[in-house]
Structure 1
Amino acid sequence: MSDSLHRLARFLIACLSLFSVLIAGAGSVRAADDFLDPAIAFRFEARMADPQTVEVRYQIAEGYYMYRERFAFRANGIKLGPPEIPPGKVKFDETFQKDVETYKGELLIRISVEGSGPFTLTAASQGCADAGLCYPPQEHSAQLAAGDGAASAPVLPIGANAPQMSTAPPVQAPAAAAQPSEMAGIAGILEGGRLLAIVPAFVLLGLGLAFTPCVLPMVPILSSIIVGEGRQAGRARGFILSATYSLGMAIVYTALGVAAGLAGEGLAAALQNPWVLGAFAVLIVAMAMSMFGFYELQMPAALQTRLAGASGRQSGGKLAGVFAMGAISALIVGPCVAAPLAGALVYISQTRDVVIGGAALFAMAVGMSIPLLLVGVSAGSLLPRAGAWMESVKRLFGVLMLAMALWLVSPVLPPLVQMLGWAALLLGYGFYLMRRHRHWASMAAGAAFAVLGAVQLVGAATGGRDALAPLAHLTGGAHQGLVFKRIKTVDELDRELANTGGKSVMLDFYADWCVSCKEMEKLTFIDPAVQAKLANTILLQVDVTANDAQDKAMLKRFKLFGPPGIILFDREGQEIPDSRVIGYQDARKFLVSLQKLDR
């Protein structure tokens, strides 16, 4: 076994070296303790130069600069003309690896307005320090009034981004300036730039994610690989297999996350189309068939021969296959967007620091792999390695893998087909256990599976369309969940926020393929206390299943990489700072998040 450990060590070193080269090549930006607060480095003022012209002035501190292409302006209650931005200095920016137009010192921007009356001007911008730090995009707001001789003295920004010496009255911050509550601590860890703090923190976060529906399907895949080893599946061998599998998952998962962060788009929708899901499901079904003894699933003989020649034994080829299976499994995990993943992706997208962001993602993937490693280590003592019990265990894992394949393609299947699929799987395995094994435990388990399958079949035949509650329509147990108003475009959202009628607003990002969205819908939104708390709140929902241009624009508006995500707005239509909900929350925790509606 020492030879196997040596081969594993060489294999891990080679993979980690490749990973280091990939993430180090993009360059990093580190924050130092003596960098200015962005509100001080880029002082913002706004005033009405005349009744129909806004003047926006930035005082840029020495050693700092701002990007022309990052300026954007919007207003609630009035129409803005195109901004008049003077020419800047063109330079090659190391952060973005391209020529950009920048400004130093003082910058004055003029914007024409159409209409009259009070309005809120929101200005988006981004700047960097000459020393190398690139700040996240910033937003500032100012209350102004157009028409009727509305020229005014300079108005300092309102909200969370205002300099501390400002005398402007504090109000709620605008949408993109707010930091999501669940991600606040994550953002603080990342912005600290200390790997000694980031790595252990994200390992713990990953360990928490390991018990979510997105990661648990990895356990039967790995277990089936170990069970397939038969008599060789001792503790050392199990650990080698699980470590190889986990490393393949971690490297691919991290690389995909870094790419998504740099591109500014999530992985979720891209991986959730029928062709991708169908291909994964077919692969898992093929593995399940090998558990039932239809054939021995192994690598092509020619490739096995080459790998065996390189390593001296065929186990090297086995490790390469397990590594590949872990990499493929990462694509199943990829669509799950939780607070740690969202925080790391936002950090990468805003700072382009793939060293810090990539290290955080890799550490999180390692944490997610800890239960898989425990499965591998325990293989020698918890799983039988020979005899009739081994065949029963292999068939059990085959059934689990078939169940995972059905769960994987369920987002693209009609509810009736889903229920019939579960009925066939449960009834088939139940009858198999009762007919093949005469032991009382097997008979009881078989009867339980058969009853569950029969419930699905009865539910489907009588009009039920929910696999999680197949008989709810018959028993009257179906509880009415929250009723959302569906919106599609950014313009629709702006109209809703401009006409709240004195009510708070909750915006929910949903997709048919989002597991956590379904959990929120069926377990959280039906809670009576949650519904009572939201009785005086406008409920809006964006369905981003299609991932079309309008869906991407809505996600980009709030810097989200995919669902689930819930945004809370106050009675004036402004996002409530530190209130975002990313990922699943049960009713108790969600009620705590909803307390911020009372601000």
Structure 2
Amino acid sequence: MRFFLSVSCFILTFAAAAAAPVIEPPLPMEKAFRMEARRDGPDIALRWQLEDGYYLYREYLSATGDDGKPVEMSTPPGVIKDDPGFGSTEVYYGTATATLVAPTAGMLKVTYQGCQDGGLCYPPTTVDIDPATLAQAMDPAADGPVSPARPQSQAAFPLVSKAAAEPVDGPGIRISDQSANGVVGSLLDRGGVLFLIAGFLGLGVLLAFTPCVFPMYPILAATLSREGESLSAGRGFALSLTYVLSLAAAFSLFGVVAAWWGQSFQVALQSTTATLVVAAIFMALALSSFGLFELQLPSFLRNRVAPARGSGGSLASSAALGFSSALVIGPCVTAPLAGALLYIAQTGDVVLGATALFALGVGKGIPLILMGTFGSGPLPRAGQWMERVRQVFGFLFLATAVWLADGLLPAGTGLLLWSVLAITFAVFIGAFDQMRPEAGGAARLAKSAGLLAGLYGVLLAIGAFSGATDPLKPLAPIAAARSDTTTAKKIIKDSFQSAASAAELSSLLKADANGAPSLVYFTADWCVTCRVIERSVLSDATVANALEGVRLISVDLSKITEANRSLMKELQVIGPPTMLFLDAGNNEVQASRLVGDITTQAVAASAASLKESL
């Protein structure tokens, strides 16, 4: 009963949020609060031009010098506002001004904070100002500088910020408006918050059958099978819904933390330590499926949450398993995920960004809920069949662990692990057991599957010792050595010039005096999707022909540094794999950016759009 009350409250909360008045999509902070600074005699005059519907806090205007000590700041009175976040406080609408006592030397750091009226509150922003470079403010009513005794005219400040100069070592790339707006902004513009939630829910359903979500099916199936004879459609619905809601909540939480942290979701969750921890979890699940031990909550918790269900799966254990499963689907970058994280990082709107991520996670889990509800009938109840199914789940868990750890292992080691897994599966399924003449069709099909798995394992072992790295092409090195024909045109990693920072990227883009279109590809050694792209997409002759004449540049994010992190922020790249298509003037072609699971057709289409723009 408590479970269904919780779910009902959760649905009502989302419905209330969706029914709330639609707020205009928030502007980037530098557009909502346009700041400029000028000399005013011995002092420094600051002015913020605020967009309609935005306000600035008087209390949170401050400045410090190079030594970190406060700098005296004078501000005019504001208007009193009953702010939901800060209580009764003074704010400025339209225009805000301040006067600083300029230090004799060194830089100034000016901090300010504001909000969208009825919408989000931006995080505090600090701007560096060099007093030595500021121009003198002129009074348009006189021929000399503004007198400290007279108020300054607004015309004394052209609305061009002098506080944040353009970086001299930037790559000089102009990203497209569509990339800057993002999928969240596009959905908000079309239909508001309700449309945004529905859109991300639908996008999640479309992503539910991608490789990163596949491991969730055996995890949930193993949880359901532990119920044994007591598993009903209602019980399956409760367990699967708990699993999915917990997964979506964790997915949303991790995304918000990663966006605020300033790193991509994959970088936050695919560190070596995190990957090994998740792989170890799947190893433990596999060993439990083989009967080496039983995974369950401590007895004092189990007796409270499921006193009458023995060792069956409880709602609490399903929730814990769902929460931890987010570590598996989180690192897989997709266009909706990248858009939501970028929106949080740019606007600071945690609530809306987290809601979008939650809806995306729920959408990915809808097929899991359907499987748990309507697929509970075919699941085995007891006996030898259940043990067989658990063993199959165990091999799926082991396969997931190998898949996760493959990127951390030396080349070819992963292929050996896949070989061992395939041969071991053949042994478990009875491929080498003596078959009785009266054996039925199912037993014979199982034996055939086992023999094929064993043969595949042998081919994988041969490929590993021959230098192969692709489990789908274990004999590729041998075939290449024997081939006398000319190999088809293809793109390999060595075809790309490498850049690690904005300065290096700028240098590569300016190297061609004639100006050529460019593809900037963000990749990483730990990115599983990147390996698939490099193995199956870039090696395709169609892609090679489509990108003929296009300068190929890669940005390696295997190790995140301050230089490439800054470059990612400037180009609004959440993580790998991401492809930017730039024309000869280094302008990103509209609607050409590719993120996540990139296909041959998508690359060819973006390349065609690039060439049409020339």
Q: TM-score, normalised by structure 2?
A: 0.72
Is 1:495 the counterpart of 2:507? The answer is yes
- Give the residue type in structure 2 aligned to 1:396: V
Tell me the equivalent position of 2:531. Answer: 518
Inter-partner Cα distance in structure 1 for 2:325 and 2:344 = 23
Q: Secondary structure at the match of 1:506?
A: strand
Is 1:337 the counterpart of 2:333? The answer is yes
How far apart are 1:12 and its partner, in Å? 3.7
Inter-partner Cα distance in structure 1 for 2:579 and 2:91 = 36
Inter-partner Cα distance in structure 2 for 1:37 and 1:60 = 12
Inter-partner Cα distance in structure 2 for 1:228 and 1:437 = 31
- Give the residue type in structure 2 aligned to 1:245: Y
Is 1:409 the counterpart of 2:405? The answer is yes
Tell me the equivalent position of 2:448. Answer: 444
Tell me the equivalent position of 2:177. Answer: 178
Name structure 1 gaps, 5 residues minimum: 1-5, 46-56, 70-86, 108-125, 137-154, 158-172
How far apart are 1:320 and its partner, in Å? 0.7
Q: Secondary structure at the match of 2:381?
A: coil
Inter-partner Cα distance in structure 1 for 2:581 and 2:588 = 6
What do you get for the CA RMSD once the two structures are aligned?
4.3
Tell me the equivalent position of 1:541. Answer: 554
- Give the residue type in structure 2 aligned to 1:441: L
- Residue of 424, 427, 436 corresponding to 1:431: 427
Tell me the equivalent position of 1:246. Answer: 244
Tell me the equivalent position of 2:101. Answer: none
Tell me if structure 2 keeps the 8 A contact 1:180–1:579: no
Q: Secondary structure at the match of 1:380?
A: coil
Inter-partner Cα distance in structure 2 for 1:37 and 1:554 = 18
Tell me if structure 2 keeps the 8 A contact 1:415–1:467: no
- Residue of 329, 332, 346 corresponding to 1:350: 346
Tell me if structure 1 keeps the 8 A contact 2:522–2:579: yes
- Give the residue type in structure 1 aligned to 2:472: L
Q: 1:574 to 1:390 in 2, by over 3 A?
A: same
1:86-165 alignment, distance < 5 Å: none
Q: Over alpha carbons, which structure has the higher Rg?
A: 2
Tell me if structure 2 keeps the 8 A contact 1:190–1:356: no
- Give the residue type in structure 1 aligned to 2:507: R
Tell me the equivalent position of 1:456. Answer: 460
Inter-partner Cα distance in structure 2 for 1:278 and 1:36 = 40
How far apart are 1:220 and its partner, in Å? 1.3
Inter-partner Cα distance in structure 2 for 1:432 and 1:489 = 51
How far apart are 1:132 and its partner, in Å? 5.2
Inter-partner Cα distance in structure 2 for 1:537 and 1:230 = 59
Is 1:481 the counterpart of 2:491? The answer is yes
Q: 1:32 to 1:179 in 2, by over 3 A?
A: closer
Inter-partner Cα distance in structure 2 for 1:95 and 1:523 = 53
- Give the residue type in structure 2 aligned to 1:533: A
Tell me if structure 2 keeps the 8 A contact 1:498–1:573: no
Tell me if structure 1 keeps the 8 A contact 2:546–2:607: yes
Tell me the equivalent position of 2:607. Answer: 594
Is 1:363 the counterpart of 2:367? The answer is no
Inter-partner Cα distance in structure 2 for 1:276 and 1:39 = 35
Inter-partner Cα distance in structure 1 for 2:29 and 2:280 = 51
- Residue of 194, 213, 216 corresponding to 2:214: 216
Q: 1:88 to 1:342 in 2, by over 3 A?
A: farther
Tell me the equivalent position of 2:67. Answer: none
Tell me the equivalent position of 1:468. Answer: 472
Q: Secondary structure at the match of 1:486?
A: strand
Q: Secondary structure at the match of 2:568?
A: helix
1:365-380 alignment, distance < 5 Å: 365-380=361-376
- Give the residue type in structure 1 aligned to 2:322: G
Q: Secondary structure at the match of 1:381?
A: coil
Inter-partner Cα distance in structure 2 for 1:209 and 1:367 = 8
- Residue of 513, 520, 540 corresponding to 1:527: 540
Q: Which deviations, in whole Å up to 9, do the C-alpha atoms of 1:393-413 show, x marking residues without a partner? A: 111111111111111111111
Q: Which deviations, in whole Å up to 9, do the C-alpha atoms of 1:91-147 show, x marking residues without a partner? A: 9998998x999996599xxxxxxxxxxxxxxxxxx99766757899xxxxxxxxxxx
- Give the residue type in structure 2 aligned to 1:420: L
Q: 1:450 to 1:496 in 2, by over 3 A?
A: same
Inter-partner Cα distance in structure 1 for 2:313 and 2:387 = 25
Tell me if structure 1 keeps the 8 A contact 2:23–2:118: no
Inter-partner Cα distance in structure 1 for 2:412 and 2:116 = 58
Q: 1:37 to 1:240 in 2, by over 3 A?
A: closer
- Residue of 257, 260, 263 corresponding to 2:258: 260
Q: Secondary structure at the match of 1:194?
A: helix
Q: Which deviations, in whole Å up to 9, do the C-alpha atoms of 1:516-574 show, x marking residues without a partner? A: 21222122111212111211111010111112222312221212221111111111223
- Give the residue type in structure 2 aligned to 1:492: E
How far apart are 1:187 and its partner, in Å? 2.8
Inter-partner Cα distance in structure 2 for 1:351 and 1:179 = 16
Is 1:236 the counterpart of 2:249? The answer is no
Tell me the equivalent position of 1:303. Answer: 301
Inter-partner Cα distance in structure 1 for 2:576 and 2:24 = 33
Q: Which deviations, in whole Å up to 9, do the C-alpha atoms of 1:62-115 show, x marking residues without a partner? A: 666799x9xxxxxxxxxxxxxxxxx99699998998x999996599xxxxxxxx
Q: Secondary structure at the match of 1:470?
A: coil
- Residue of 553, 566, 569 corresponding to 1:553: 566
Q: Which deviations, in whole Å up to 9, do the C-alpha atoms of 1:440-467 show, x marking residues without a partner? A: 1111000110111011001012222333
Q: 1:337 to 1:89 in 2, by over 3 A?
A: farther
Q: TM-score, normalised by structure 1?
A: 0.74
Q: 1:505 to 1:391 in 2, by over 3 A?
A: same
- Give the residue type in structure 2 aligned to 1:543: D
- Give the residue type in structure 2 aligned to 1:369: G
Q: Percent identity?
A: 35
Inter-partner Cα distance in structure 1 for 2:584 and 2:465 = 46
Q: Which deviations, in whole Å up to 9, do the C-alpha atoms of 1:408-450 show, x marking residues without a partner? A: 1111111221011000010111133213583211110001101
Q: Which deviations, in whole Å up to 9, do the C-alpha atoms of 1:190-238 show, x marking residues without a partner? A: 3456232122211110011111111111111111212233323333322
- Give the residue type in structure 2 aligned to 1:231: E
- Residue of 394, 399, 415 corresponding to 1:398: 394
Q: Which deviations, in whole Å up to 9, do the C-alpha atoms of 1:254-283 show, x marking residues without a partner? A: 111122333432221122122222221122
When structure 1 is superposed on structure 2, of 459-468 and 360-369 the one drifting more is 459-468
- Give the residue type in structure 2 aligned to 1:580: R
Q: 1:58 to 1:314 in 2, by over 3 A?
A: same
How far apart are 1:296 and its partner, in Å? 2.2
When structure 1 is superposed on structure 2, of 508-517 and 463-472 the one drifting more is 463-472
Inter-partner Cα distance in structure 2 for 1:43 and 1:551 = 27
More RCO (CA 8 Å, sep 6+): 1
Q: 1:100 to 1:534 in 2, by over 3 A?
A: farther
1:286-297 alignment, distance < 5 Å: 286-297=284-295
Tell me if structure 1 keeps the 8 A contact 2:522–2:557: yes
Inter-partner Cα distance in structure 2 for 1:521 and 1:95 = 50
Q: 1:338 to 1:570 in 2, by over 3 A?
A: same
- Give the residue type in structure 2 aligned to 1:448: L
Is 1:9 the counterpart of 2:4? The answer is yes
Tell me if structure 2 keeps the 8 A contact 1:510–1:564: yes
The alignment of Structure 1 onto Structure 2 pairs a total of residues equal to 512
Inter-partner Cα distance in structure 1 for 2:598 and 2:248 = 25
- Give the residue type in structure 1 aligned to 2:174: A
How far apart are 1:377 and its partner, in Å? 1.9
